């Protein structure tokens, strides 16, 4: 059985588009966000995300509907939900094993659930289940990550998260996630972990996707790379049925085709200077330190 790949990154770090690209490699099966790291059983995982039902459970429901019936509708999603309810006692390892069996043992499963990084225990649980899994750490500049977070939340009629409390400030969410990832990576075997700037990969995807393929030991030929440049061909690269609409970034789901000319022009802002949601203050020293470590200046 192929060892899976987990893309680890804070929310709003290009995981949907890059995960979608990698997931279209002919030797890989790209999953939507399944959030299976949040507990030891499927029930614990499911209950941990019910507060954000559409965002937290849509991915797993869409995946099961697609695998079971080849189509994602309200009816197939309802049957997928019943499947979950009857198996809440299953362990995460058993659920992943079932998905692998249906997909095929020769396919590498790729999961890009950003919630995996919100607690160190989540990633450690994945490592216990898959001790030989690969972990691709995507980074994105904390300023553009924060702006993207605020824009998405406001688009759904919610208030700026930085107005709730410091705990919800986008830069602190970014810092907490990155700190967890860095701590987690310390215990990984040589070659098990790869870190790459999302901005770099998107600005030159042909070059960097080939590097990822080489790291994973899979085909890096022109035909395979070409397939990876079309994330829109995934059955999960669109808005799903009303009962399970998401499972990936909503903006990506609305427009999953790559605009290579636009991506080539991605710019990285300065890590220094006033930050709008911090009322003109600069990033804290810990945020700047980690951002500098990742190569942002």
- Per residue in 240-282, pLDDT (tens digit) is 999 999 999 999 999 999 999 999 889 999 999 999 999 989 9
State residue 245 phi and psi, 5-degree precision.
-80, -20
CA 266 to the chain's CA centroid: 20
Q: What is the pLDDT of residue 99?
A: 98
pLDDT band at 130 (very low <50, low <70, confident <90, very high): very high
Q: What's the predicted TM-score (pTM) here?
A: 0.94
Q: What is the pLDDT of residue 14?
A: 96
Q: What is the pLDDT of residue 1?
A: 80
How many CB atoms neighbour CB 105 within 10 A?
8
pLDDT band at 28 (very low <50, low <70, confident <90, very high): very high
164 pLDDT higher than 70: no
Q: How much is the average pLDDT of 1-8?
A: 94
Assigned token pair, 78 = 């309802």
Q: How far apart are CA 10 and CA 119, in angstroms?
A: 11
Cβ-contact 231, 17 below 8 angstroms: yes
Q: How far apart are CA 237 and CA 246, in angstroms?
A: 9
pLDDT band at 158 (very low <50, low <70, confident <90, very high): low
Assigned token pair, 239 = 């808005």
User: How many Å is the maximal CA-CA distance in the chain?
Assistant: 53
Assigned token pair, 142 = 């904390």
164, with CB counted inside 10 A (0-12, 13-18, 19+), is exposed
Q: How far apart are CA 111 and CA 235, in angstroms?
A: 15
């Amino acid at each position: 059985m192929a060892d899976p790949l987990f893309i680890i990154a804070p929310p709003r770090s290009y995981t949907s588009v890059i995960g979608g690209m990698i997931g279209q490699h002919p030797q890989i099966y790209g999953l939507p966000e399944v959030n299976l790291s949040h507990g030891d059983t499927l029930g614990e995982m499911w209950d941990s995300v019910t507060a954000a039902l559409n965002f937290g459970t849509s991915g797993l429901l869409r995946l099961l509907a697609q695998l079971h019936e080849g189509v994602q509708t309200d009816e197939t999603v309802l049957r997928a939900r019943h499947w979950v309810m009857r198996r809440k006692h299953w362990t995460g390892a058993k659920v992943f094993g079932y998905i692998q069996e249906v997909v095929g043992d020769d396919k590498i499963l790729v999961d890009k659930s950003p919630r995996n990084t919100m607690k160190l225990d989540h990633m450690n649980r994945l490592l216990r289940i898959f001790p030989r899994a690969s972990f691709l750490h995507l980074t994105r500049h904390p300023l553009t990550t924060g702006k993207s977070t605020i824009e998405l939340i406001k688009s759904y009629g919610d208030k700026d998260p930085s107005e709730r409390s410091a705990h919800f400030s986008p830069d602190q969410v970014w810092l907490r996630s990155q700190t967890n990832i860095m701590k987690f990576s310390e215990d990984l075997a040589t070659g098990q972990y790869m870190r790459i700037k999302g901005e770099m990969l998107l600005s030159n995807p042909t070059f960097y996707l080939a590097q990822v393929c080489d790291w994973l030991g899979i085909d890096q030929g022109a035909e395979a790379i070409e397939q990876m440049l079309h994330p829109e061909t995934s059955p999960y690269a669109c808005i799903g049925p009303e009962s399970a609409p998401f499972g990936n970034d909503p903006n990506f789901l609305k427009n999953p085709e790559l605009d290579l000319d636009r991506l080539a022009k991605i710019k990285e802002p300065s890590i220094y200077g006033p930050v709008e949601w911090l009322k003109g203050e600069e990033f804290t020293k810990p945020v700047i330190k980690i951002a500098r470590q990742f190569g942002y200046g």
